[in-house]
Amino acid sequence: MSIDATNRVWISGLKTYIDPIKPGDIMKGQGVSEVIFSKNNKYKVGDIVLGLTYWEKYSVLDGKTLTPLPKNYKNY
């Protein structure tokens, strides 16, 4: 998970490239995640992805904000 200056803007109520985050909403941020279930042909179980995710243990995403990382991503 990333914590960025933009998180402060998102909770300020200002409209940016994403909708503001209101009280009670789950904070968004860049994250590295493992796919544990998928209905998207682009991703399969076990894939590691980078993208705009939520600050929660599990998320259901459409995959539009995700980029697959190479299998050997830990070597970078």
CATH number at 60 reads: 3.90.180.10
- Can you spell out the DSSP letters for 4-73? -HHHHHHHHT---SSPPPPTTSPPEEEEEEE-SS---TT--TT-EEEEEEESSS-----STTEEEPPTTG
Residue 76 has pLDDT above 90, yes or no: no
Q: Which domain holds residue 44?
A: 5-70
pTM, full prediction: 0.77
Q: Is residue 19 part of a domain?
A: yes
Over residues 22-61, the pLDDT tens digits come to: 999 999 989 999 999 999 999 999 999 999 999 999 999 9
Q: Is residue 75 part of a domain?
A: no
